[in-house]
Chain A
Amino acid sequence: MLTYIARRLLIIVPMAIGISFLIYLALDLSPGDAVTRMLNPVQTVDPERIEELRRALGLDAPLVVRYWIWFSGVLQGNFGRTLTGGVPISRILMERLPATLELSVVALVLSSIFGAILGTVSALKRGSATDNILTVAGMIGVSIPEFFFGLVAILVFAINLGWLPVGGRLLPSYTTYWDHIPNLVMPALVLSIMMTAGVMRYARSAMLDTLSKEFIKTARSKGLPEWRVNLLHGFRVALTPVVVLIGFRLPILIGGSVIVEQVFQWPGLGHLFVLSVRNKDLPTVMTIALLSVILVLVVSLIIDVLTAIIDPRVRLGGE
């Protein structure tokens, strides 16, 4: 297994380079650049001034040169500065990452726990009122967009009841970390609801599929207690696809949830990513994208390893 992990880790490097270059290329091919986004479309500016700004920002260099300048900086731990505001990207990451992490970690943990439990209960109670209620709730959860849940939550809990803040993360009057927890509640719960619904539906179908397998019947025929059959034999195997689903949601730890961040004015990386794409601020977009790419690749490796641990039938790298 260690050889397999080492091999996969080595592959991540060229893959990250290749994918990041493709992203850079795609962004570069889209019309306009950061300078055009800084200008008012109906304010005519001296073209020489514009070209001078383009040169000063290094946007006049060929694509490959610009990519290399950015990438070689990253290799030295220097993510560069934003084009529009000249702000060190590492500083922005440090400012925004905590906001994104606390929102997405809470949502991931809550949705993974509740989604897996509720999905399993739903499968075990198949055809019952509990199953029907959970199935309908799951359908509603995955069908209704996040922004709708968010707006309803704001209307009820912030505007009508006044229990929670309408949005934002911090205030000048907050002096301790715990002061802003009320601000976190609504966005984290809204994000959790959506994710819980997905995990629950996945867990239910995986559990149903597992419970119909021969080895479950064998376990029952051995006279094992039903809870032991369900949890130790069924749930363990059913967890495999659920872990894959949860794993591939981990990139939101970096990318954030754009819609929830927008609705709740949450100053996370998702919000910043959209703003940077709109501004064609390539160094910022590329840094967030690269971190997401690396996370996806690493998570993919972790999922493979976890799957092998959870499901005894899986063997890594032909072992």
Chain B
Amino acid sequence: MRIFKAAAVALLLQTGISSVVQAQALNGNPLSDVRVRQAIAYAIDRNLITESVFAGFAVPADGLLPNGPFKSPNLDKYAYDPEKAKALLAEAGWDSSRALNMVYYYDDQITADLMAVLQAQLAEVGITLTYNLIVGDVAKTLNSIPEDPKGKSVVTWDMAYGARAAMVMQEYFNDYATGKASADGFPGSPELDALIADSNTATDPEVAKATLMKIDEYINANVLTLPLYYQQLQSVESNRLDRHGEPYGNDQFNYDWNVHNWTVTPDADGKAILYTNGAPLDYFEQPWVNLGLWAGNKFIWAHMLGSKPFLDGITGGDLAESYEMSDDGLTLTFTMRDGTKWHDGEPITVDDVTKSLIFSLKTPNLHGVIASVFNSIEGAAEYVAGTAETVSGITSDGNKVTIKFTKPNANTLIAFTQWGPFPMKYFEGVDPTLVQQAEFWQKPIGSGPFKVEEAKFGDFSSFVPFDDYYEGKPKIDQIIAWASSDGDVNMVKNASAHRIDFAVTKVVSDIEAIKALDFMRMTPLDIPYTRMVWFNQYDK
């Protein structure tokens, strides 16, 4: 078996760049012609964009996958070459009277600046670009596709600008599968479908990695999507904070950051208070969707398993003391840790785990990676469809929980590093569809190192150490988190007034402002976060 896997990996890696589709328009839409998409790739100067628009706080992208272990050496970089772009357009018979419309969903100034730069660069090669912000139903505008892949496009846009913040690398590509309603605007191909399926079911990490590289090469060769740049996340910290060597990682998700070991310099009253942002505006978000939200999620909740900092492996158990995955990847058994408690002092039980798993199957806003794993639990489909009263694939025995799957999934274990159970006694009678509307989220009872002491929505939330946290009582006396939405507009102001000890940001203007504060420091984090341009290739 091992030899077979090695041979498979070698074969995948030795194969050159994936096939390029025939160089002609596949339908009445000029963007279905690979030469037009390649011309656009050559016309855009990504180095200029990252240096000027993003002040150097972004990295030009050549593939969808981030730089690092998943980067294929076979990617064409499409280095800025307007003359080549013009030649390709001429070859493709580009009609210069045809304007392309780009849509985007970020309402910040940097995106508006970027649109102006893209417009100017495309104008240089004879392409007229118009652009507009999507208002209203963003998901529908972006993700609607015709029922028949060869049918007419059901959206009016030609190109769309957006981002993918991936938890696992498969997330970059699953949307390209034929018939998957998504923004990639690609009708699909059997070759790519097969690669996508392989990448999801490969339980051997090396085979999965090689397959993912192949997909990136395929997309790159055919310019199905144009990656523009990779964006770093900056961990913003005051000089009062000491992480005691605990790791930095992908703060968009959960990992073993060991916040219980962090310390801050005590104030004049001798109290060690950590100030941060991200507290809720009107309710705590349930933690199964926006996984990396620190104030509403990471401080409060523990998970089944622990993850390495950049989600590239499992560190071991969290609420589960240990786990065992069968060789075929179809049976996962957790042995629950003894003595773990909820913040109300009640024990965390096996029943909480099994009931939470079943409950989560019917919640509407489960994170995509977790949903894809949970949906393949035996009996899950029948339960969701209402033809079964419970889920046959979820069982418990003593302190063990066993989950059986209908098919292997490369991300099963990672999914459980991001998911943890709820104290289900608080959800009796709650419709899982309306989980977020439950009263529980006004002051959740969690399982993590800190518990909610007080929530003044729209103002601040206060967290205090959970004495019974199984890894030991946290050393910080109190966390005060200022209420803010994603992209906190008040972060710099609060940091300037010594009211931020920890935050994360990707906002360039914030990064530049924080750099000027000598009592603050920043640590760049290379997270999988790619900003890209999608092409709508459906017939028009």
Contact = CB atoms under 8 A, between A and B. Distances in A.
Q: Indicate, yes or no, whether A interacts with B.
A: yes
Interface of A: 30-33, 36, 38-47, 49-50, 52-53, 56-57, 81-87, 92, 95-96, 151, 154, 158-159, 165-172, 262, 265, 267, 271-272, 275
Interface in B35-88: none
A39 B365 contact: yes
Interface residues of B, number: 57
Interface of A is mostly: loop
Contacts of A38: 365, 436
B137 A81 contact: no
A43 B167 CA distance: 12
Contact of A172 (B368, B478, B496): B478
A37 to B, nearest CB: 9
B482 interface: yes
24 contacts: A30-B135, A31-B137, A32-B137, A36-B138, A36-B139, A41-B105, A42-B183, A43-B367, A44-B143, A49-B362, A52-B433, A53-B434, A56-B434, A57-B434, A82-B282, A83-B437, A84-B282, A85-B283, A86-B434, A159-B493, A168-B459, A172-B453, A172-B480, A275-B281
Contact of B364 (A30, A50, A92): A50
Contacts of B364: 45-46, 49-50, 52-53
Given A31-B136, A43-B367, A168 B457 contact: no
A151 B364 CA distance: 41
Contacts of A265: 459, 482-483, 490
Nearest to A172: B462
B458 A86 contact: no
Given A32-B136, A85-B283, A42 B456 contact: no
B139 A41 contact: yes
B471 interface: no
A170 B137 contact: no
A171 B279 CA distance: 13
Nearest to A281: B282
B442 A87 contact: yes
B138 A32 contact: yes
B103 to A, nearest CB: 11
Nearest to A264: B490
Contacts of B137: 31-33, 36
Contacts of A87: 282-283, 442
Contact of B457 (A57, A86, A95, A158): A95
Nearest to A49: B364
Contacts of B175: 44
B117 to A, nearest CB: 22
Given A85-B283, A159-B497, A275-B282, A39 B139 contact: yes
A56 B438 CA distance: 13
